[in-house]
Structure 1
Amino acid sequence: MHVLQIILVVLITCLYRQVVHNIVGENKNIVEANAWHDCKAYLGLVQ
């Protein structure tokens, strides 16, 4: 995969997780933490 494709997937994934955490509400902190952890993991792979 191209680096740009990987970055695009990361952005979409991060946005998706952000939307989910906004909808969920009561488990907000847990989902947010997971979303950021996933984003950092993906960005680590990109770098």
Structure 2
Amino acid sequence: MQVTKVDFLSVLGKFLTPEEMTSIENLIGELLSSKASQFDWSYPLSE
């Protein structure tokens, strides 16, 4: 079973406040964009 970003965030959303979710989403977005610029992904980031 493959865990997608949406599944991961929806699980986190059950434990975190909206403010915490927003900061985590921003952090994940920054990590993905910085890694995407450094590496050639072998799989697409978005379905």
TM-score in terms of structure 2 length: 0.53
User: How many residues align structurally?
Assistant: 31
Gaps of 5+ in 1: 38-47
Query: Which contiguous aligned blocks of 4+ residues in structure 1 show a shift greater than 2 angstroms?
Result: none
Point out which structure has higher relative CO (alpha carbons under 8 A, 6+ apart): 1
Structure whose residues are more often helix by fraction = 1
Taking only the aligned residue pairs, the percentage that are identical comes to 0
Residues 1-20 of structure 1: matches in 2 within 5 Å? 1-20=16-35
RMSD (Å), alpha carbons: 1.8
Gaps of 5+ in 2: 1-15
